[in-house]
Amino acid sequence: MTLHTDYALRMLIYLATRPDAACTVNDVAEAYHLPRNHLLKVAQTLRDLGFVETTRGRAGGIRLAKPPAAIGLGVLVRATEEEFSLAECMQAQGRPCAISPACNLKGLLHEALAAFLAVLDKYTLADLVENRAILGAFLGIGTTVNLEGGAQPW
């Protein structure tokens, strides 16, 4: 998986951890200690794909465009990855391999990739943030945990 997809997942986790408030790319960058410039590109990609909404201006920011349960992880990974080349022989512009006509590796890697994506297809962003309060604590987001005795700040 590329860093772009990794950062996209992290950004969506951050946004899902604070669903009632817009945040900035700087907020995400600081929480994860990631480069702001990379995250700006990620935010643009996520906006273009319809996963997030962006608002400019003083009160602007980014927020999820749909509920976490509506964001499939397999869909996200397929949309953000440019190419799923697990080996050079699978690349569109890869060099030819001497054993390509007789090699079984390419088929095995296609099967492995299909299995990887099939697992991701079983889950949504909501599954990643079931422990939202704990994630929020690690990310420096003030969240509230609903316990039997009432809401508690985390």
Position 34: which residue type?
A: L
Q: How many residues in the chain?
A: 154
Quickly list H helices, 49-104. Answer: 73-80
Do 113 and 106 meet the contact criterion of CB atoms below 8 Å apart?
no
Q: What is the pLDDT along the chain (154 residues), one digit of tens a residue?
A: 899 999 999 999 999 998 888 899 999 999 999 999 999 999 999 999 999 999 888 778 999 999 999 999 999 999 999 888 777 777 777 787 888 888 898 889 989 999 999 999 999 999 999 998 899 889 988 755 444 444 433 3
